[in-house]
Structure formats: structure tokens, C-alpha cells
Amino acid sequence: MQLSKSEEELMNHLWKLEKAFLKDLLDQYSDPKPATTTVATMLKRMADKNFVAYNLYGKSREYYPLVKKKAYFSKHVNGLIKNFFNDSASQFASFFTKETNITKEELAHLRELIDQELKNK
């Protein structure tokens, strides 16, 4: 299951905070902040999708993520590779290195990461 763009933004705030009450999450937004009811509705939808859960303290809910950020984005990147690059990581890497504004330093760092992974395999 996927999150909408606004749900992803909210989820990023929750991943950053690890646990948060609704007020804490609202504080993470820059102005103009979304309405309290909008964020509450998104949290309910995200709970229904099993992305977040909460602990109840009286009438207050402390939310926490059920899905790790790395797992969520890994699934998206793998889906992107499958759907747009014929399930070829090398086609994705070629596109990524040629069509994005990646710096020479970042490319060198990627080379180091790839060399390290080759040694580990």
C-alpha cells in the first residue's frame, strides 16, 4: 500500500520524531500549517493502512511509525526500477548518473560504495 504525497510528508515528520502527539506533528510544518483536522484525518488513514499506530494516554494519542523509513523507500525504489527501467538496476543507475544534477564528488562517493559492495559479495 502507498501513501499520498501529503501522507509521506507527515510520515517523514513522524520518522524524524519517532513518537509524537498531534500537536508535535503540527509543529513540524512550516507556515501555513495544515488544519488540525486534516492532520488527524491523515493519521487515521495512515493507521488504517498500517503505517502508524498510537498509544492512548487519556484522550491523547501518541503516534509512532509501524514502517521503517528505509523499508518504505526501498520498496519504492525497487518498484521504480521494475516499472520504469525494465527491472534493471544498471539502467536505473545509468539514468540516475546522467540525467540528475549529481556532482563529481557524489559520483566518486557512489563509486566507493559500489566498490565496497563488490568486495562484500
At 79-113, the pLDDT tens digits run: 889 988 998 988 888 888 888 888 999 999 989 99
Which pTM was predicted? 0.77
40 with 21: CB under 8 angstroms? no
Does the pLDDT value for residue 1 go beyond 80? Answer: no
- By C-alpha distance, which of 76, 80, 105 is closest to 93? 80
pLDDT bin (cut points 50, 70, 90) of residue 12 is very high
Q: What's the distance, CA 8 to chain centroid?
A: 6
pLDDT bin (cut points 50, 70, 90) of residue 6 is very high
Average pLDDT over residues 62-88: 91
What residue ranges define each of the domains in the chain, with the CATH number in brackets? 5-65 (1.10.10.10), 69-120 (no CATH)
